[in-house]
Amino acid sequence: MLSLRANKSIQDLSWRPTVRRHSETSVTGKFSWKITHLVPSYRPPQKQRALVKAVVSRNGDNNKSSSAAEQVQVNQDSEPVSKSTSKDGIDVKAVITIRKKLKEKLSEKIEDQWESFIIGIGQGILIQLISQDIDPVTKSGKSIDSFVRGWMPKPSNHPNIVEYAASFTVPHDFGLPGAILITNYYGKEFFLREIIVHGFREGPLFFPGHTWIHSRNANPESRIIFRNEVYLPSQTPAGIKDLRREDLLSIRGNGRGERKPHERIYDYAPYNDLGAPDKSKELARPVIGDQERPYPRRCRTGRPPSKSDPSFESRIEKPHPVYVPRDETFEEIKQNTFSAGRLKALLHNLIPSIAASLSSTDIPFTCFTDIDKLYKVGFVLSNEEQKEVTENPFLGNLMNQVLTVGEKLLKYEIPDVIKRDRFAWLRDNEFARQAIAGVNPVNIELLKEFPILSKLDPAVYGPAESAITKEIIEEELHGMSVEEAIQEKKLFLLDYHDLLLPFMEKMSSLPGRKAYASRTIFFYNRTGHLLPIVIELSLPPTSNSPQNKRVFTHGNDATTHWIWKQAKAHVSSNDAGIHQLVNHWLRTHACMEPYIIATHRQLSSVHPIYKLLHPHMRYTLEINALARQSLINGGGIIEASFSPGKYAMELSSAGYSKWRFDMEALPADLIQRGMAVEDSSNPNGIKLVIEDYPYAADGLLIWSAIKELVESYVKYYYSDVNSVTADIELQAWWSEIKNKGHFDKRNEPWWPNLKTKEDLSGILTIMIWIASGQHAAINFGQYPFGGYVPNRPTLLRKFIPHESDPDYEKFIHNPQQSFLSSLPTQLQATKVMAVQDTLSTHSPDEEYLGQIHELQGHWICDNEVVKLYKKFSAKLEEIEEIIKKRNKDSRLKNRCGAGIPPYELLRPSSGPGVTGRGIPNSISI
């Protein structure tokens, strides 16, 4: 790690008890002794010239660089400066705002009082103003420093906000400060909201913080806080040019050393931390992110290698946190909301676990009433069960806290998919509607050629041609030929055959898992309705069945009708797995992570593109780290609840093999899937093949608004023809994304160039769309659609019976029981419902697209840029009204009608909770 060392030597610090100097604020006893002996008392030498040195971490150690280019000499008066009326200087005051915890323990409140005392007497925080102008002697920015001391006469309006001040007398020729070095001499970190410098004739100067300032005990290097100005690298004022470089170097990892919680180091690693081979051979998992299993890179933590295999990183389990750079962690409100969600998930998972342990079996659903009870009654424990549970030493304390008088525990909210019409999920038109207006509307494609052919090796996977014949399709087309239907763009396909078939044998060998590779054909009829007409379910070929494929249609009798239901359930299960592992986790969460890491490593915080992207990076690394710890890890929730089981991340890697950055642009994706055609007369240059395609129709509005903002923003800052290619930080950023962040795809020819403003605008629009609109569309509908298990089972436990199967008679006798017994068990279902409920929840501190939040507002220092954002916000308000009107338009059958829930996943605004709408700026859940 490279960072800035504070300008005080260790000899300048003496450690002495100071509590007696202010006895009325002290505490007594042993705790007081500990505090007073941890507070450094600073005795500054007179007019010392200090060095601020770059220190590069190698093998986790701090080794001083001998390069003269890595030293910045700062001329400063080390004596704290008091306010002066001297004609030789300007009196200025730096007001520093610190945020406290919302809820504090008694010990923390006492510690805060002590902190206020130490800072108040000028022994806690050192502030150094660094001028934009060069000192002719040192050849670096002019500098002056002072300790923060005293209290503001007017307390803050917010109880958790504290303000302090540091006074300076700066020479008339000092110029404007462009940066501040801040050194924390107190014993613990603090959260810096902002620093405002008053006294210069240009008015108050704002230095945005919104960052944790580590203690000098943890790291002796000072932090750099830049003023809220925007500079391309070539435009950086001379006085802070070296600091810009040093600040970037200070947060770049070098692939070595274990990361500490207080650090802000960004680096790359493959997904070699998902398995736990030291715990059990059954929990060993392959490395995801190599030549065999390509994948984007994650944020490196540097934990020690596994004892059983050094190529794997050792695991760290809850409640211990996985490292992310300090400023990437959840803020207190978000943490409390997420913790509440985790508690809710724990309780939901726990109750069926108890029931399973008491009955020594994992109970299947036996009738639809069992499912309805999840929403109407909640979980109920009898007196005997309560007694057994509360006497359990592990569960007793927890359960005593949550059991109610009525012995009922938490119950689920009714999901939207059955709230208006509890039988809608049974109908074919609802099954089809969810392919274009559900939680996974991004896989359906136009059927362009017939017959349908596989691209898999026929020597391994059997004949390439699908078992779906022309005759089978035409029976469902009411007199239209296949050729006519293809020509008129009436046939559509949901094809998971090639992605899933290589995994079928392994998946179906897992206990309680049975799956097929699926293809589904939809017909867009003359009345404007999309309907499923044929389903093909395939298994790998065997010696007895070289063409191991079954084809289903809805039929006209009871038997084929129930078989058709089971076939649709298998398609839905496949759709749920592909949605979660490829479209949701991979294409948004995992692919966004390298963009965030590269942005911090290569773009200075004063770079215009950093400021543009910053709102779209919030919380993503933290939520991804939590996912690696509990969701996508070996034995985690995803493996336990979805069909691929232990092969889940290998399937996700297979999905990455088909991933292309340029095709993540919404218009390009729609054209590639045949769901739109090029049309220059329409906005975005395309026309939808199905006009009533809610995800695409609303998504294009959001895409267009983002694109307009980005193009205007880029044009404003990159006015010269060669300004994009001349931007060394920007070019390094794009190179690192391709060559490090997406290392396994680094040689692909489809990566866009970065030479022009148009190139840059296109790249940034894709990134912001992924973080905002795309993630919202495929995340916040998880519980509204998946919360009702029969509608969207995440796994199935039985194959569809053949007439020759022993279970076929049971199916004929009780088809409902056969269907329910193939669904996830009650434990499996409630597990995934709890997770989907948590993942579909908006936090109270959510920051939504188009809303200029406090930090973003402080960073925007240019009125022209403010106008761009206001225009963007106004555009999104218009889009909100358009979507509301569309959801009331009776002509749009996929979003309006009897029992049809409106399509609101791409409505920009939302309140907290599971609302099924709202577009956050970033992937924050």
Catalytic machinery residues: 584, 589, 775, 779, 925
**What is the sign, positive or negative, of the torsion defined by CA atoms of 401, 405, 409, 412?**
negative
Residue 215 near residue 262, CB atoms below 8 Å: yes
Q: From CA 63, how far away is CA 511, in angstroms rounded?
A: 54
Instruction: Look at the block and give the residue holding tokens 């692919």.
Output: 591
Structure tokens at 616: 């779209």
> 49: Cβ–Cβ under 8 A, 6 or more apart, which residues?
73, 74, 75, 76
Q: From CA 414, how far away is CA 393, in angstroms rounded?
A: 34
Per DSSP, helices labelled H in 320-475 are 332-359, 368-376, 383-390, 396-402, 416-419, 428-437, 458-461, 470-474
H or E stretch covering 138: none
Q: How far is CA 211 from the centre of its chain?
A: 19
Determine how many CB atoms are found less than 10 A away from the CB of residue 390: 15
Per DSSP, helices labelled H in 823-900 are 826-839, 854-859, 863-886
Residue 182 near residue 161, CB atoms below 8 Å: no
Strand partners, 247: none
> 883: Cβ–Cβ under 8 A, 6 or more apart, which residues?
698, 701, 903, 904, 906, 907
Structure tokens at 73: 């000499």
Name the nearest CA neighbour of 538 among 573, 509, 498. Answer: 498
**CA angle at residue 203 from 202 to 208, to 5 degrees?**
110
Instruction: Look at the block and give the residue holding tokens 């020479």.
Output: 171
Residue 596 near residue 617, CB atoms below 8 Å: yes
Q: What share of the chain is helix, strand, coil (3-state, %, to 5)?
A: 40, 15, 45
Q: How many residues does the chain have?
A: 925
Structure tokens at 350: 């726990």
Q: From CA 622, how far away is CA 613, in angstroms rounded?
A: 17
Q: From CA 418, how far away is CA 372, in angstroms rounded?
A: 10
Amino acid at site 741: G
Q: From CA 690, how far away is CA 670, in angstroms rounded?
A: 11
Q: CA 42 → CA 20, 122, 726, 805, distances in Å?
A: 17, 9, 46, 84
